Amino acid sequence: MRVKTKLLPNSTFGWFGLGICITGVSFRFGREIPGFYLYLFCFSILSVSILFIFPPFFPKKWETNLQSFMIATLVFVLFANTNHVSEKRQTRTWFRSLLVDTCKHSHLSPLEQRIVIGLVTGSTSEIPRDFKEIAKESGILHLFAASGLHLGIFIGSLQFLGNLIFSKQRWISILLSLGFGWYYLYLLNFPVSFVRAYSFAFFTLVSSLLYRKIAVSDLLIISSAAITFFLFSDFLSIGFLLSFGAVFGIFYLKPSLDQMIFPHSKSLLKENLTLTLVCSLCSFPILVTYFHSFSYGGIWINYLLVPLAGILLPCIYITLFLQTILPVRLEVVLSDWIWTPVAYLLSLFLRIFQFLSESGRGYRIWEKESYLLVWFSLFLILILWFIYRWDFHKIKFFRWILPSLLVSFFPLGYFFPKKESLPVIFQKGKGYFTIAIEDRLFLYGTCSPYKRFELPNTNKEIQTILFESESCLQTVLRLKKKQNLPNIVWFDQNNSPFQKSMFMDGIQIQTSERLGQEIKKEFSLFRFDGNPKGIPSLLRSLKETEQKKIRETWKGFLILDFPLWKKKEAKEWIAYQKLLGISNAWKILIVEDQFEIPLLHDLTNPNLL
């Protein structure tokens, strides 16, 4: 029997959870306002007083719901730890050491051992960097990050075994699976996706134990409220949004697609198809908004690999358990036999993954002009829920047009045209920033070996990388090999002893000019770091360059890359451009302004990986 999926909660406790969530959202965005806490506290006291002291203004049912809502607001203001600091969730040290020692007894290769540890701990730091990069571009990084998939498979496996052993005492199976699930959650140090998955499992299993059915809206809202109240720093984080976005699609959009795509089919292939589509659709606006990237090939890669991961993970759990309880005398004899199923499935998983990732990852990166795709994806999400909620899916027109729109959205989004902008301010990190102009990428500053970036998808494919710091050699050589770039130019002003070896690797060395200072037909680019001693030579170079311009369409760009404490001074350059003697032919850009972070990004933890 189909259950209507309403957005508002069905129970009084659900309204209490909604009050926690709404208050958490308002506090998240309003905490920087002076006196906001006092305003919120006074509003809560006033609302509770009106609802409980004065005669009811609403029907009894709504009155009870609103009372729960306002009590939750007051409880959050008084007792929630809104100063909770987000920490990187790291697996308990002794548990990780135990996994490493256990895997050493297997005949798996070092790479396979690291992947096994990454799958069990849900930590992307366990897998090699190159493998992690390919997994990200293939859209399956969630398999190696702490996600609800891991805990769902873990508790599901325990439930299956428990029901076989305690067939007549099902409550024992439920309590054991919840207990071990909580311990698994503790071992991984409570990552937000695991907390969400455990909340779902807890409320669903407990309600079934009490012969009750919990509405999906209550399940989502109460779980969100638990994270908001106890783990406030993780509320509205990337992990939170991706996790809840995926389950929102499963609860609210998948039934709609099931009724429109092969409505009479109950096959696993069809179920996996609709599941993959709704999860991809609901994660699309979040990934594009935060990372300006999306793996279109990840849709079909997930379609094929997630079911295999659902078989591989239980096999790994069982093997680790057997290896742990195995007597020392039998380790040499039985270890190879115990790990054989895992070795076979993991080898099959990696071979299929390698083939699929090489066949087409479909990884796209945009600049900030891609918000049209975000709004269209949100429109599809809303219309899919609306049509199912009001039974419009029974109309033949909607049964044809909506699946067609959804299926065509992804390939059309892949070829979405980009606005031509010159220059394209693409990436920024600690100590560096990049600018893409035409088919050239300028890399300014120093590079970290732990921070990777990719080439932007511009109208003209990047053919040349120009950089100035020796610390970027590893990054540039990796991009040269990966993208088969024909031209690499190193502006080395310090006469590095590595010039000869770099020249042998096909890197051009430029010592007579600084990066970006050469004159081109289309543009010229200058960077100034705010050093007062360099102002006279900078102004002189600007005038000389402008006099030598070749075309009328030539554009000049002055990039001000001042330290943070000189940011206000940098803005004064724009206000007093003519006073400084800089003509309007030069467009002044400030690095910090180009990478200004919106409020949502600043207040949440964007560290997904």
Query: In this structure, which amino acid lies at residue 588?
Result: I
Q: Does the pLDDT of residue 420 top 50, yes or no?
A: no
Distance, in Å, from the CA atom of 75 to the CA atom of 135, rounded to the nearest integer, reads 42
Q: How far is CA 377 from the centre of its chain?
A: 17
Can you tell me the distance from the alpha carbon of 601 to that of 609, in angstroms, rounded to the nearest whole number?
Answer: 15
Q: Would you place residue 430 in the very low, low, confident or very high pLDDT band (cuts 50, 70, 90)? A: low
Neighbours of 191 (CB within 10 A): 27
Q: Which element (helix H / strand E) includes 335?
A: helix 328-359
Q: Where are the domains of the chain?
A: 12-79, 93-235+292-365, 420-493, 520-600
pTM for this predicted structure: 0.67
CB-based contact 589:559 (threshold 8 Å): yes
What number of CA atoms fall less than 13 Å from residue 222's CA on the CB side? 21
pLDDT in tens, 88-144: 667 788 888 888 888 888 888 888 888 888 888 877 777 777 777 788 888 888 877
User: What is 103-161 written as a DSSP string?
Assistant: HHTS---HHHHHHHHHHHHT-GGGS-HHHHHHHHHHT-GGGGS--HHHHHHHHHHHHHH
Instruction: Give the H or E element holding residue 247.
Output: helix 238-248
597 confidence band (pLDDT: 50, 70, 90): very low
E strand or H helix at 424: strand 424-429
- The whole-number average pLDDT for the span 21-39 is 80
- Average pLDDT taken over every residue of the chain: 77
